Structure 1
């Protein structure tokens, strides 16, 4: 089995320019020959777990994964048990509502020190906007200002941030545009630090599910949260947003998006990084907003996520000596694999980063796109 599996995998890799135990930064160095059988039986879950277990290494994991993804090598593998299980869970269950707080507990609550070390000074955990930026802080400031300009923030407006993280966007909007804001998160660690960081501003972060919100807001922003909603809940999500938005308001949805409609996520990412996460497609968002919103603008700058993730990786690597006492070596390898593999998929343009501007009835006279 192992020799047959190795031959098959070597054949697949040949057209990608990847050589097992080769001399290039993207060539994997295999330390355990059982890897090949594991890849055939466990797919992407097996590839990621094998790296975490030390079965293989690569100097540049991002370049290795980029070559695999660009060649669509996964299309030549049979569906594995982990993938089948992910598909079935997505079809039969609504995990995003059954376990609303799971992603908060397993991902966002693993340590504010980790995120403070990895992210920019405002702790923005989403794609930066690198059009005119050369540093991570500048890219994130540019992204925040882009959002404010897209929704036409004005002094005195009341803003809702669905999935507000550590409060960075609300802090920026309150300081630069004179608005008040309410944010919601399901992460205890995020809520506590966000309220501490925004003291003295007309900003409040609530630890709650967005579906429990009440009131009216002039603008609604949602940055990097929609990936946790789940396809069965897209319609209820937009219905709730419409209920909370004033009739002449605007909503901006900032989300990673997939080019193919699916009902599940990636098995490795679901298990280790974003439990129950899945990427929406254009079609799913379109169905979700139908008769609720008018789509005013759709902006894809997914290539910028490659730069953002690699900047996070650089900061994470630099901070690791100070973080090592809080996490083990397997976590280090898991986190490194997460950042590099995600960067590779964005680099290959297999997924995008979308900012979608929505209005309840259409902006009178038309909406002017902002870049």
Structure 2
């Protein structure tokens, strides 16, 4: 990459400074240029972006993007290139030491703290999420194997889960982290089951009352999963485990074991990461999912030891890229309806969230696992569904 030879840029920072040169050389390894002309190149619009990114990692990079200090046409492609070449592992920002220590020493997902993500993220407003998501308001990865639209992909995912759980009419199902009730409604409509859903979002619980009014055998409980004691034929948890935290993984599995009948099945659907020695992204933690944490496959199986037999593991993480891009397209198409309410900074924050995550899944930095588990092992073996 050719480094500009100007002593000072029009923005007032030293284009030939050591930090600028270091970052330019680093980005070149991912085929990214500073002030380049391609859609994934970074356009610097204010001083301090590079130093902020070097000193505060993605927190600094994300905040400076929210402020409009830099831009790019294709954030998803930028992050795909950054993550596929694993550039982040070559920089150790000093402030990340704080996040690492906090993650390891504190239980950031206590019963009291667990409600924070509901208030900050899921309670943004049902209308906002209805505009972004599919018609069932399913806020988890779709299954695109034979689907062409977001609605089709989400229904395919819901049906896949029902088939994996071998649902039969009359069964009672516990949905830990039920969201807006999309799984419960689908399972009740198509498989004749009764469902109890747990959520920590008041907005989601209130929305769920509309499903109940339709006569579906569904109950929403506004409570933490740790307070559930009833027993069920099947248990499902779709996109909630990311909020549990490693200090609570064993307790989560213990609760699931306690609430599942001896001959039942438990399906866990969760985003996961490849490396165990990484900490929660500080920007995501601050602005999107407070107190969130991604598990590794090893931590999942360790937490379930002596409580469950893992019958099946299915990874379709690449489908999350396509799901996030579909959400982003809906968000962009309907943003004008929310612009006055949320403002430009929120727009840039949400864009950064959706597209950076899409890039991470595209790079296979993040995974999406569905685990089917039984308490004692299915006699004769479990039949894989896809």
Q: Shorter-normalised TM-score: what interval?
A: over 0.9
1:208 to 223, 226, 233: 223
Counterparts of 1:181-200 in structure 2, within 5 Å, are: 181-199=195-213, 200=215
Q: Deviations over 1:102-127 (max 9, x none)?
A: 00001001111110000000000000
The answer for the alignment partner of 1:291 in structure 2 is 306
Given the alignment of the two structures, is residue 8 of structure 1 paired with residue 31 of structure 2, yes or no? no
Bigger radius of gyration: 2
Whether the 8 Å CA contact 1:263–1:278 is kept in 2: the answer is no
Mapping for residues 38-57 of structure 1, pairs under 5 Å: 38-57=52-71
Q: Give, in angstroms, the shift of residue 79 of structure 1.
A: 3.0
| 3-state secondary structure, aligned to 1:160 | strand
Counterpart position of 1:80: 94
Question: For 1:84-163, what aligned pairs fall within 5 Å after superposition?
Answer: 84-97=97-110, 98-163=112-177
Distance 1:326 1:155 in 2: 44
Per the TM alignment, residue 197 of structure 1 is displaced from its structure 2 partner at its CA by 2.7
Structure 1 Cα separation of the partners of residues 21 and 146 of structure 2: 46
1:280 to 295, 308, 333: 295
Q: Matches of 1:153 and 1:321 in 2, distance apart? A: 42
List, as ranges, runs of 4+ consecutive aligned residues in structure 1 with deviation greater than 2 Å: none
1:331 maps to which residue? 346
Could you tell me how far apart the structure 1 residues matched to 2:206 and 2:326 are? 26
In the TM superposition, residue 226 of structure 1 has moved relative to its aligned partner by: 0.1
Whether the aligned pair in 2 keeps the contact of 1:264 and 1:277 (CA below 8 Å) is no
Contact 1:262 1:280 in 2 (8 A): no
Shift of 1:84: 1.6
Retained in 2: the 8 A contact 1:309–1:339? yes
Name the residue aligned to 1:355: 370
Q: Secondary structure at the match of 1:95?
A: coil
CA displacement 1:338-361 (0-9 Å, x = unmatched): 000000000000110000000000
Structure 1 unaligned residues grouped into runs of 5+: none
2: CA distance, partners of 1:78 / 1:301: 30
Take 1:111 and 1:182, find their aligned partners in 2: how far apart are those partners? 23
In structure 2, the partner of 1:232 is 247
d(CA) in 1 for partners of 2:53, 2:118? 30
**Deviation per residue, 1:312-363 (Å, 9 max, x gap):** 0000000100111220110000000000000000000011000000000000
Unaligned 5+ runs, structure 2: 1-12
Deviation at 1:195, TM superposition (A): 1.9
Q: 2:235 is matched with which residue: 199, 214, 220? A: 220
TM-score of the pair, normalised by structure 1: 0.98
Which secondary structure state, in structure 2, belongs to the residue aligned with residue 102 of structure 1?
Answer: helix
Count how many residue pairs are aligned between Structure 1 and Structure 2.
370
- Counterpart in the other structure of 2:10: none
Contact 2:211–2:218 at 8 Å: present in 1 too? no
Q: Separation in 2 of the partners of 1:166 and 1:78?
A: 39
Q: Give the whole-Å Cα distance in 2 for the aligned partners of 1:39 and 1:204.
A: 46
Aligned to 2:259: 244
